[in-house]
């Protein structure tokens, strides 16, 4: 792994900094975090600005409409946008960070041409319809059925915890196209489809989180007709395509947030100095330890991004190590924030408290910590498979 910046990469950094300095003051004020339609409008407008300036899909391959940037350029982009306080991907998360990359890796030429440019331009956003009431960690036991009817699939069932469902245009949807039987184990018989969220038969019912947000929803699918041409990969080969999606989700989707957490840590240290909590040596030690953890996570990020690039763009199981450590480090960061805040930790409108509440979900979303530990044990350490 060689991540030393070349002269060319430093030119890239300089141009990006210059562009950010001009572009950011033109952004409208950020909407209320609980206003989802407002956030969609804000996040997609930012995506459009990136697109117009040539920074959209920086790490996507050039033949998928991206810039085909080097891993170092990608990391420079994350560092500099965060340093400048630029908006994060937000509502564009699924499309840009895992549905889009899956279509780029597995889709046909027509599918790439149809779906990828609107994601890069911020015209369309995607959500992920994988989990069901009885199929989260054990995703392969999903029951949503798709029955072939000519050149359509007719889909019925329900999904849960679908982030951004309320404001999404498309959904990466997993369905069962072959019932489980003695000859069809549950991992077979699954198919990856792209579903329009405005298709007749799709009902979205928002769910409220602990932090008060309706960032995810239940979805009910009643005989939804999806064209066969909107299937990515072969029929019944959806498990393999799903592994590609999950490797992007766990491997590279959260990397930008590490930079955000490092900035938040700096803010915590500053606040502790101002309110006198800095004199508490136990607190100082905790801040130092979390700082070291995030520094290590940034190194791991560099390694993962570099490895993904080397192996054709799809991240490997190293993403599970990152996901596991990152989600715990983030929770610890905001536990310390509560200590720094003291009595203000009870004011739930404070942004750090909102972050603390939402950090609790990080060890569940995108695969629980227990499941990441199983993956690390079995696929990286080669330990025997659990029953």
Give contact residues for ligand FAD (rule: CB under 6 A). Answer: 127-131, 136-138, 161-163, 216, 361, 364-368, 370-371, 374
**CA nearest neighbour of 236 among 193, 184, 191, 174:** 191
Rounded least distance, CB 144 to ligand FAD, Å: 11
Could you say which of 172, 249, 257, 293 is catalytic?
249
Query: Which lies closer to ligand FAD via its Cβ, residue 133 or residue 179?
Result: 133
Give the nearer residue to ligand FAD in terms of CB position, either 205 or 289.
205
CB 353 within 8 A of CB 347: yes
State the nearest-atom distance from the C-beta of 334 to ligand FAD, in Å.
15
Q: Map tokens 């002269």 to a residue.
A: 7
| 249 is known as an active-site residue | yes
Instruction: Say how many C-beta atoms besides its own lie within 10 A of residue 147's C-beta.
Output: 13
Name the residue nearer to ligand FAD (CB basis): 292 or 380: 380
Those residues whose C-beta lies under 8 Å from the C-beta of residue 249, and which sit 6 or more positions away, are: 97, 98, 128, 319, 366
Tokens, residue 293: 């953890």
Q: Which is nearer to ligand FAD, 51 or 334 (CB)?
A: 334
Shortest CB 219 distance to ligand FAD, Å: 9
Minimum gap (Å) between residue 196 Cβ and ligand FAD: 17
Q: Please say whether the beta carbons of 61 and 68 come within 8 A.
A: yes
CA distance 191 to 233: 8
Query: Closest separation between CB of residue 241 and ligand FAD, Å?
Result: 14
Shortest Cβ distance from residue 112 to ligand FAD (Å)? 23
- Contact at 8 Å (CB) between 58 and 52? no
Q: Which is nearer to ligand FAD, 229 or 370 (CB)?
A: 370
Phi and psi for 204 in degrees, rounded to 5? -115, 125
Report in angstroms the alpha-carbon separations of 288 from 278, 298, 324, 333. 12, 15, 20, 11
Q: Residues 345-375, buried b or exposed e (16+ Cβ, 10 A)?
A: beeeeeebbbbbbbbebbbebbbbbebbebb
Nearer to ligand FAD, 131 or 353 (CB): 131
Q: Which residues are catalytic?
A: 249
């Amino acid at each position: 792994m060689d991540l030393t910046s070349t002269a060319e990469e430093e030119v890239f950094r300089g141009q990006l900094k210059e562009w950010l300095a001009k572009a950011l003051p033109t952004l409208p004020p950020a909407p209320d975090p609980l206003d989802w339609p407002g956030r969609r409008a804000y996040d997609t407008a930012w995506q459009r600005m990136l697109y117009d300036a040539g920074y959209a899909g920086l790490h996507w391959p050039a033949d998928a409409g991206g810039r085909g940037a080097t891993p170092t350029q990608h990391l420079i982009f994350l560092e500099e946008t965060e340093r400048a306080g630029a908006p994060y991907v937000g509502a564009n998360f699924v499309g840009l960070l895992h549905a889009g990359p899956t279509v780029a890796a597995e889709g046909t030429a027509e599918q790439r041409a149809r779906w990828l440019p609107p994601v890069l331009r911020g015209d369309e956003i995607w959500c992920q319809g994988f989990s069901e009431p009885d199929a989260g960690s054990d995703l392969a036991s999903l029951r949503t059925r798709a029955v072939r009817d000519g050149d359509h699939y007719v889909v019925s069932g329900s999904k849960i915890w679908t982030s951004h469902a309320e404001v999404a245009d498309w959904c990466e949807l997993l369905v069962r196209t072959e019932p489980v039987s003695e000859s069809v184990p549950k991992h077979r018989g699954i198919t990856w489809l792209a579903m329009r969220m405005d298709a007749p038969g799709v009902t979205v019912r928002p769910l409220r989180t602990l932090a008060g947000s309706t960032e995810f929803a239940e979805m009910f699918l009643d005989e939804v007709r999806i064209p066969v041409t909107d299937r990515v990969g072969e029929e019944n080969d959806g498990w393999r395509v799903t592994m590609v999606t999950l490797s992007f989700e766990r491997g590279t989707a959260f990397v930008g947030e590490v930079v955000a957490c490092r900035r938040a840590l700096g803010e915590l240290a500053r606040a502790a100095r101002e309110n006198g909590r800095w004199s508490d040596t136990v607190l100082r030690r905790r801040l130092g330890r979390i700082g070291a953890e995030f520094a290590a996570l940034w190194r791991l990020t560099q390694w993962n991004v570099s490895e993904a690039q080397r192996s054709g763009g799809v991240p490997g199981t190293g993403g599970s190590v990152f996901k596991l450590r990152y989600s715990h480090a983030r929770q610890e960061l905001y536990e310390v924030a509560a200590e720094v805040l003291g009595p203000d930790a009870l004011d739930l409108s404070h942004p750090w408290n909102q972050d603390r509440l939402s950090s609790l979900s990080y060890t569940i979303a995108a695969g629980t910590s227990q499941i990441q530990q199983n993956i690390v044990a079995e696929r990286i350490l080669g330990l025997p498979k659990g029953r």
